[in-house]
C-alpha cells in the first residue's frame, strides 16, 4: 500500500501538541472511541511508544506519518492507520483511484488485525469505518451486492458488544440503517437488511448522549437525517452545533470547517 506524497493540511488547520499535551487532552479527544492512551498500558515499550507517536502525528494533522507508523505496527497500528487514511481520503485526497486503493489496502490490514486482536473494540470498529468509506465511494448499492453491508454491520455489533459506550460505533450503526433506507427504500431495506429508521435515530441519539461535544457526532447525525428524509431544521441545528465547536485537534478543524460550509 502506497503512503507516499500525501497532500498536507494547511498550517492553520494543524496542531503542535507535545506528547505530554496530547496525554492531557486524550480523554476529550477519544471520548468517541474510548481508545486508551498507549503509554498508560504495560507491555512492549517499543510498540506502545510507536503507537503514541503515531497518534501524536494524527492529532497534530500529519496523517501520512501517522499512517506510516500504523502500517509498520501491523495489528497494533491498525486503528491509527484506519483513522489517518479515513481523514486523508475525506479531506485531502482528490484522486479517486488513489482513494480506492488506499481504502482497499487498509481494509486488508484491518481485517487481519480484527482476527489477531478479537477482544479490541476498536480493531473491530475500524473495519466498519473503512468498509463504510469504501462503500460510499463505489455506491451503497454496489457495496450491498458485494456483501459488504453484512460485514460492516457485524463489525459494528462486535465493537458495541465489547464497548457499549463507543459513540462512533453507535453513529456507524445509525448510518448503516440510514444509508440502506436512502438507497433501496424503507420496505426493501427493512425486509432484506433489517434497516429501520427508529433504530437509526436511537443510535444517533445514543451517540449524542455519549459524545455530543465532538463536532463529528453532530455532523453525522445531520447527514443521517438528510439520508432518512427527515427534519431539515434539526439537521441545520446539528451542523450549527458542530460549527460552533472549538477544535481540539487537526481533524476536528476539518470537521468544523465542513459544518460551517453547511450552514453558510
Q: Tell me if the pTM is above 0.85.
A: yes
Task: Render each residue's pLDDT in the chain as its tens digit; 264 residues.
Answer: 778 899 999 999 999 999 999 999 999 999 999 999 999 988 899 999 999 999 999 999 999 999 999 999 999 999 999 999 999 999 999 999 999 999 999 999 999 999 999 999 999 999 999 999 999 999 888 988 899 999 999 999 999 999 999 999 999 999 999 999 998 888 888 878 888 999 999 999 999 999 999 999 999 999 999 999 877 899 999 999 999 999 999 999 999 999 999 987
Tally the C-alpha atoms within 13 A of residue 54's C-alpha that lie toward its C-beta: 27
Give me the DSSP letters along 209-222: HHHTTSHHHHHHHH
Cα gap 118→126, rounded to integer Å = 12
In the 8-state DSSP scheme, what is residue 232? H
Domains belonging to the chain, first-starting first, are 12-263 (1.25.40.10)
C-alpha cell read off for 37: 492512551
Amino acid at each position: 500500500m502506497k503512503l507516499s506524497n500525501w497532500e498536507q493540511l494547511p498550517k492553520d488547520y494543524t496542531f503542535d501538541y507535545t506528547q505530554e499535551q496530547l496525554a492531557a487532552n486524550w480523554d476529550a479527544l477519544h471520548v468517541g472511541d474510548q481508545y486508551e492512551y498507549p503509554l498508560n498500558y504495560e507491555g512492549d515499550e517499543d510498540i506502545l511508544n510507536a503507537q503514541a507517536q503515531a497518534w501524536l502525528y494524527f492529532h497534530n494533522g500529519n496523517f501520512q506519518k501517522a499512517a506510516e507508523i500504523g502500517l509498520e505496527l501491523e495489528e497494533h497500528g491498525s486503528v491509527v492507520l484506519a483513522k489517518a487514511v479515513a481523514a486523508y481520503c475525506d479531506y485531502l485526497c482528490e484522486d479517486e483511484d488513489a482513494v480506492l486503493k488506499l481504502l482497499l489496502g487498509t481494509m486488508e490490514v484491518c481485517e487481519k488485525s480484527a482476527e489477531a486482536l478479537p477482544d479490541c473494540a476498536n480493531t473491530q470498529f475500524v473495519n466498519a469505518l473503512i468498509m463504510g468509506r469504501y462503500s460510499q465511494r463505489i455506491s451503497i448499492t454496489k457495496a450491498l451486492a458485494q456483501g459488504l453491508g453484512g460485514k460492516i454491520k457485524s463489525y459494528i455489533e462486535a465493537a458495541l458488544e465489547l464497548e457499549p459506550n463507543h459513540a462512533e460505533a453507535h453513529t456507524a450503526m445509525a448510518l448503516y440503517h440510514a444509508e440502506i433506507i436512502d438507497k433501496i427504500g424503507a420496505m426493501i431495506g427493512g425486509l432484506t437488511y433489517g434497516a429501520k429508521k427508529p433504530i437509526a435515530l436511537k443510535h444517533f441519539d445514543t451517540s449524542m448522549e455519549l459524545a455530543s461535544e465532538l463536532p463529528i457526532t453532530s455532523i453525522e447525525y445531520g447527514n443521517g437525517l438528510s439520508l432518512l428524509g427527515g427534519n431539515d431544521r434539526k439537521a441545520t441545528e446539528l451542523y450549527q452545533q458542530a460549527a460552533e465547536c472549538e477544535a481540539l485537534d487537526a481533524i476536528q478543524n476539518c470537521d468544523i470547517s465542513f459544518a460551517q460550509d453547511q450552514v453558510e
